[in-house]
Amino acid sequence: MRTAIVTGGASGIGLAICRELGRRGVHVVIADLDGAGAERAAKELGCSAAALDVTDAQAVRDLVTDVAAGKGQLDFMFNNAGIAVGGTADELTLDHWNRTIDVNLRGVVHGVHAAYPIMMRQGFGHIVNTASMAGLVPAPLMTPYTATKHAVVGLSLALRAEASGHGVRVSVVCPGFTDTPLLDHANPGLPQTATGRGARRSATRAQGRLYSADSLAGDIMRGLSRDRALIVAPASGRMAWRGVRLSPALAVRVAALAVRRLGGR
């Protein structure tokens, strides 16, 4: 049986991914900082759970090693755990920056560093990193988040080029604003900002309608079946991405207009 680890799998996009994997007969290990939430989700889906802080490199390595050894292989590593951080650059503290980098970037690095050597030895496997549309477009009012998601896109594409010679696939997921609890818990454990408190409202104003996590999970599975390097959804996100590639300068001007519309300083 194929095996997958999904970090941040107890809710939102991660939980939707776990459901889709389960429907496809994959044994899923739901890993989440919320260990109780992971246990509840695992009970619902009939799979395994693990409490995991992705900022702890040794804990990530131990989980990945144990799962691969116990199941005999590791087919998928979904580095999906992340946090939302919002605010104007002048009001965000170094704590905002450091926490975002620790979870959204180092958390992915830790997952890659643990899983990639195992998949190289196997000669197969698929690493799937969750970034964001903010990793492809100039997304203001959440600069630390945007910076980490751009880094995850770059990491994923560079690793994909290396991994192709070893039978290992790498994809990066870049969703637009998705209807998940993340939007209701921006700046977790950090000084709050007006942007953070209004994250859901701002996301809805910016995109018009939030995408569902279940729809995104279906897009992800289709993208993986086609070995897509970049999985971008919904359609409005793909249009925005094309716009940035056609005229980066115009994209920045449009983003500046959005800042004024959304009330950023």
Confidence of residue 254 (pLDDT cuts 50, 70, 90): confident
Q: State the catalytic residue, choosing from 145, 177, 211, 241.
A: 145
Confidence check: pLDDT of 28 > 90? yes
Model pLDDT for residues 147-193, shown as the tens digit of each residue: 999 999 999 999 999 999 999 999 999 999 999 998 998 999 999 99
For residue 204, the model assigns a pLDDT of 87
Q: Above pLDDT 90, what percent of the chain?
A: 85
For residue 75, the model assigns a pLDDT of 98
Between 239 and 10, name the one with better pLDDT: 10
Confidence check: pLDDT of 260 > 90? no
* Interval 125-142 mean pLDDT: 96
CA distances 161 to 123, 164, 169, 170, 171, Å, are 15, 6, 9, 9, 11
pTM: 0.94
User: What average pLDDT is seen over the chain?
Assistant: 95
Kindly report the backbone phi and psi dihedral angles of residue 24, in degrees, each rounded to the nearest multiple of 5, phi listed first.
-95, 10
Confidence check: pLDDT of 265 > 70? no
Model pLDDT for residues 29-43, shown as the tens digit of each residue: 999 999 999 999 999
Q: Buried b vs exposed e over 108-130: b needs ≥16 C-beta within 10 Å?
A: bbbbbebbbebbbebeebbbbbb
Model pLDDT for residues 67-98, shown as the tens digit of each residue: 999 999 999 999 999 999 999 999 999 999 99
Query: Pick from 107, 124, 229, 235: which is nearest to 176 by CA?
Result: 235
Confidence check: pLDDT of 264 > 90? no
Catalytic residue at 211? Answer: no
Domain range list for the chain: 3-262
- Complete DSSP assignment for 167-236: TEEEEEEEE-SEESGGGGS-STTS---HHHHTHHHHHHHHHSSPEEHHHHHHHHHHHHHTT-SEEEESHH
Superfamily for the 3-262 domain: NAD(P)-binding Rossmann-like Domain (3.40.50.720)
Query: Pick from 31, 7, 259, 265: which is nearest to 138 by CA?
Result: 259
For residue 263, the model assigns a pLDDT of 63
* Interval 132-151 mean pLDDT: 96
